[in-house]
Amino acid sequence: LPGRTMLTSEGSVNRSTHLVKINGRYRLITPIEAERLQDFPDNWTRYKKTSTGEIVEVSDRMRMFFMGNALVTGVVKRIADELQNLL
């Protein structure tokens, strides 16, 4: 089933937090699950480049923020394809 809209607050627990229920217990989704919901490859958000050019690993909380700030790439592509078909 489709997931709800992800927000930049995904790294915290609030009323919009995505949870998964397994064997009667709830847990937060992982960064990889968030990437999959947003149609990004696994570990897409694992690293970032600093202002000095260094590549560093980011926290899970920041990875969730990244996904809350993203568009679902597959949906954007389908919209673009349909617009292209109109031309």
- On the 0-12 / 13-18 / 19+ scale of CB atoms within 10 A, 46 is middle
- pLDDT tens per residue across span 12-52: 788 878 888 999 999 999 999 999 988 899 999 999 999 99
Q: Which residue has the tokens 């389908």?
A: 78
Output the pTM of the full model.
Answer: 0.79
pLDDT classification of 5: cutoffs 50, 70, 90: confident
Q: Are 36 and 44 in contact (CB under 8 A)?
A: no
How far apart, in Å, are the Cα atoms of 39 and each of 12, 15, 55, 73, 78? 21, 23, 23, 6, 12
C-alpha to C-alpha distance for 55 and 7, rounded to whole angstroms:
25
